[in-house]
Amino acid sequence: MFCNECGNKITDETKFCSKCGNKIIIVQHQGNNRLLKFLGVYDLTLGRKRYFIISLTLQLSIFPLLIIPAYLIPEENDFLWGVFIIYLFALVISIIFFIVSTSTKRIKDIGISKNWILLIILPYINIIFWIYLCVAKSKLNN
C-alpha cells in the first residue's frame, strides 16, 4: 500500500504517513463495474494512458451533444429552445466537473501542486497543459 499524497510505501495498519504526515484514507470499491474502474472513479490518481483516453473521448463527444440537438429544434418553438438551454447548462456543468476531477487526479499522479489546475481555464494555455498532462511521467511509486 502507498500514501495517497506522496507515494511512500506504508503498511495496511498505518494511520498517518511517516514521510509527509498525511492521514491515510482507505478507499474500498463498491461493486464490480469495469467502466467506473477504468474511468478512475475509485482511484485517487490517474495514469497518462487512461487520462489521455478519457479526456480525448470527452472532448470529442462534446460537439455531437451540442450540435445535433440544436439542428433538430425548429426555430419557432420557443419552449424547446428553453429546454435546450437548460440541457446545455447541465451538460456544460457536468463536463467542467468531469474535466476538473480527472485533471486533478492526473496532477496528483504527476506530483505537482494542485494549484496548476487553474491553467484549465486559460484559453490556448489549457491545450499545452493538457498535452503536458498526457505525456508527463508519474512521480508516484505505485
Q: How far is CA 117 from CA 14, 59, 77, in A?
A: 30, 17, 40
Q: How many domains does the chain have?
A: 2
- 41 and 74 both lie in a single domain: yes
- 57 and 127 both lie in a single domain: yes
**141 lies in a domain?**
no
**54 lies in a domain?**
yes
C-alpha cell at 116: 496548476
Orientation angle between helical segments 78-110 and 125-135, nearest 10 degrees: 50
CB 25 within 8 A of CB 33: no
Give the residue numbers spanning the domain of 131.
34-135
Q: Judge whether residue 142 has pLDDT over 50.
A: no
Higher-scoring residue by pLDDT: 68, 128: 128
- 21 and 83 both lie in a single domain: no
- 66 and 43 both lie in a single domain: yes
- 73 and 98 both lie in a single domain: yes
Q: Looking at this protein, which amino acid is placed at residue 47?
A: G
- DSSP secondary-structure letter at 11? -
- 124 and 79 both lie in a single domain: yes
pLDDT at residue 125, rounded to an integer:
92
| DSSP secondary structure letters along 17-62 | -TTT-PBP-PPPP-S--HHHHHTTSS-S---HHHHHHHHHHHHHHH
pLDDT at residue 77, rounded to an integer:
85
pLDDT at residue 8, rounded to an integer:
75
- 108 and 42 both lie in a single domain: yes
Ranges 12-16, 30-34, 82-86, 131-135: which has the least confidence: 30-34
What pTM was computed for the model?
Answer: 0.65
Q: Tell me how far apart the alpha carbons of residues 45 and 62 are, in angstroms, rounded to a whole number.
A: 24
22-79 pLDDT tens trace: 777 665 555 566 766 666 666 778 888 888 988 888 888 887 887 888 788 888 888 8
Q: Judge whether residue 122 has pLDDT over 50.
A: yes
pLDDT at residue 133, rounded to an integer:
92
- 88 and 48 both lie in a single domain: yes
**142 lies in a domain?**
no
Q: Reduce the DSSP state of residue 121 to 3 states and report it.
A: helix
- 88 and 24 both lie in a single domain: no
What is the overall mean pLDDT for the chain?
Answer: 81
- 24 and 38 both lie in a single domain: no
- 79 and 130 both lie in a single domain: yes
**140 lies in a domain?**
no
